Structure 1
Amino acid sequence: MSAARPRLLYVTDLAYQARGRRYCDEDIHLTSRLRDRFDLALCHPLDAVALMDGFDAVVVRNSGPVLGYQREYDAFRARALAAGTRVYNPLTGKADMAGKQYLLDLTDAGYPVIPTIDRAEDLDRLPAAEQYVVKPKLGADSLGLRVVPGSRLAALTAGDILIQPRVEFVHEVSFYFVDDDFQYALYAPDPERRWQLRPYAATAGDLEFARRFIDWNDLGHGIQRVDACRTPDGELLLVELEDLNPYLSLDALQEEARDAFVAAFTASLSRFVQGALSPA
């Protein structure tokens, strides 16, 4: 629908309890800033189908792992696609938005990703390791993740899991993009404290690595987070490409960097919504 100011339905689970993070604080801050440009209402992800027809676009932000409400999320996708509803991030994402299959696809294509298989019979395709990380294909936020010795892999059920070698790494680092534009990077100096993040000065090589995955996903609009680990020899390997509802860790940024991100996010949303309001 058209209005003097664009109308956004902002989907978030303000009560979601995330380990080491407060999702609600981030969305309270973002929506307080977006109100300068948009008429905006917040709703829980379980209410999105019932409410979304009254808005120019739906913004999916910190809505929690879809695994907890898979049936309702599938209904939301189906309804939005059938009705032509503009959803930000767009529902064409090929990464976490569609499950973890992309880790297999990127492994097969030779991208710098932690090598991934989904059958114990293919173990010879992975580097030798004492332990392996096993996680569900539809997992998120470390739900269902296990570390198992190689001797137990043969007993695992094929098809619904991913298997990766447990990689030794120096630190994890995340690169944050709005549309195709790099915004900032954060890293966790202590591998045991994933969400104790500090600003990170990305090198040209780092950004070349991250942009390979942004280009591969070809999302056009939206927020994406490229999560990587740095091995002891300095190589970066993709851990995941979050293109559904990436947490942004804005509280780890200085005010100037946080304001710059909000400005980029607002401008992207404005361009995205304008596409819905422009005559065909």
Structure 2
Amino acid sequence: MSPTSDPATRERSRVALVTCDLFPDLWEDDLPLRDVLLSRGAEVDVLGWDDTEADWAAYDVAVIRSPWDYVARRDSFVSWAHSVARLLNPADVLEWNTDKRYLAELANAGLPVTPTDFVAPGDSWTPPSDGEWVVKPTVSAGSQDTGRYLLPAQQALAEAHVARLAAAGRTAMIQPYLSAVDEQGETALIFLPDTGGVLSFSHAIRKGAMLTGPDEGAIDPGSERIDPRSPTEAERATAERVLEAVPGGAGRLLYARVDLIPGPDGAPLLVELELTEPSLFLKEGGDAATRRLAEAILARI
């Protein structure tokens, strides 16, 4: 073992956990991660991504955790990410993943993605004739600016939602509401590096339905029902296929979360691939998941 890799002879590792002003002391689910890193002898600072006083070059690694205010300032957030040399996940991944138009790329690659239409500012949109549909912006977090509409009864509201996003210079995305979420929930599969550094399945949770109605008809993020879940073989296989399609390869990732809901035929469909700032549900994953993530962070130094 070289002197620089021996904990007894090298300086303490410096880790920045990246958050925002909304959660200056971290989102509660990340507190166990901080504590394990501290117990391993690392110096840990919690910093807002837009902290103008932060010296990012002074850290061995900066780990994105809860910068959930970036949505209104995505360009600034992406620019900041590219300025941080040792950032996890990497800046180019964040740039790709913070605009949900990546779903079109994955669909074009043959992956089972929830059918999605994108309506950019200036585009015309003809609403579907019937059914339940979800309207949301391509840049969002925590169900912000998201609504669920029953057509044709709520067509005017859906059209107004799309128009409101366009007026703000935002691209809208329209997806069928996957009704299986009401009874079966959404399965979130969390992937973390194993002891060999290979990104692999860690644990999964069930999330209850979030959307309740038009406009911003969603329950508050964090208030949905969360339970541990064992994914099916089909869900595991789908999630692994999705990760294989990540630009640059999944081997660069510190973490990934793949959110799936059964489609009309019962087969899992990708709702979102969370590579930027997802909750990793470490409490539901238990001590083993938290230790696994902490060791993976230290192994990158």
- The TM tier, using the shorter chain, reads 0.7 to 0.9
Q: Give 1:111 deviation, angstroms.
A: 1.5
Equivalent residue, structure 2, for 1:177: 191
Task: Give the structure 2 partner of residue 104 of structure 1.
Answer: 104
- Aligned residue type for 2:55: L
In the alignment, structure 1 residue 160 sits paired with structure 2 residue 179: no
User: What is the deviation of 1:133?
Assistant: 1.1
Aligned equivalents of 2:76, 2:287: Cα separation in 1 = 34
Q: Which amino acid aligns with 2:77?
A: Y
Q: Find the counterpart in structure 1 of residue 294 from structure 2.
A: 266
Give the Å deviation of 1:250. Answer: 2.7
For 2:179, the aligned partner's letter is: E
Q: Contact 1:48 / 1:76 at 8 angstroms: preserved in 2? A: no
Q: Distance in 1 between matches of 2:115 and 2:53?
A: 37
- Give the structure-1-normalised TM-score: 0.79
- Aligned-pair CA distance for 1:140: 1.3
The CA deviation at 1:234 is 2.3
Does residue 27 (structure 1) correspond to residue 30 (structure 2)? The answer is yes
- TM-aligned CA distance change 1:32 to 1:186, over 3 Å: same
Alpha-carbon distance, 1:176 to partner = 0.3
1:202 to 213, 219, 231: 231
Alignment of 1:48-67 (within 5 A): 50-67=54-71
Paired-residue identity, %: 24
Partner of 1:240: 272
Quick check: 2:209–2:224 contact (8 Å CA) kept in 1? no
Task: Write the letter of the residue equivalent to 1:130.
Answer: G
Shift in Å, 1:45: 2.0
Does residue 224 (structure 1) correspond to residue 285 (structure 2)? The answer is no
Worse-superposed segment, 183-192 or 228-237:
183-192
Flag structure 2 segments of 5+ consecutive residues without an equivalent. Answer: 5-9, 194-198, 212-218
Structure number having the greater helix percentage = 1
How many residues get paired? 258
Give 1:40-189 correspondences, 5 Å limit: 40-47=44-51, 50-80=54-84, 85-93=85-93, 97-119=97-119, 129-148=130-149, 149=151, 151-152=155-156, 156-157=162-163, 160-169=171-180, 170-179=184-193, 180-188=199-207
Q: What RMSD over aligned residues (CA atoms) do the two structures have, in Å?
A: 3.0
**Take 1:189 and 1:4, find their aligned partners in 2: how far apart are those partners?**
45
State the alpha-carbon separation in 2 of the partners of residues 95 and 215 from structure 1. 18
**Shift in alpha-carbon separation, 1:95–1:9, aligned structure 2, 3 A:** closer
1:208 & 1:9 partners in 2: Cα distance? Answer: 33
Query: Which letter does structure 2 place at the counterpart of 1:28?
Result: L
8 Å Cα contact 1:90/1:219 also seen in 2: no
Q: 1:166 and 1:92 mapped to 2: Cα distance?
A: 30
| CA–CA distance in structure 2, aligned partners of residues 74 and 87 of structure 1 | 12
Contact 1:16 1:23 (8 Å CA) reproduced = yes
* Deviation at residue 190 of structure 1 after TM alignment: 6.2
After superposition, the Cα gap between the structure-2 partners of 1:131 and 1:234, relative to the gap in structure 1 and judged at 3 Å, is: closer
Question: What's the CA shift for 1:24?
Answer: 2.5
The one-letter code of the counterpart of 1:186 is I
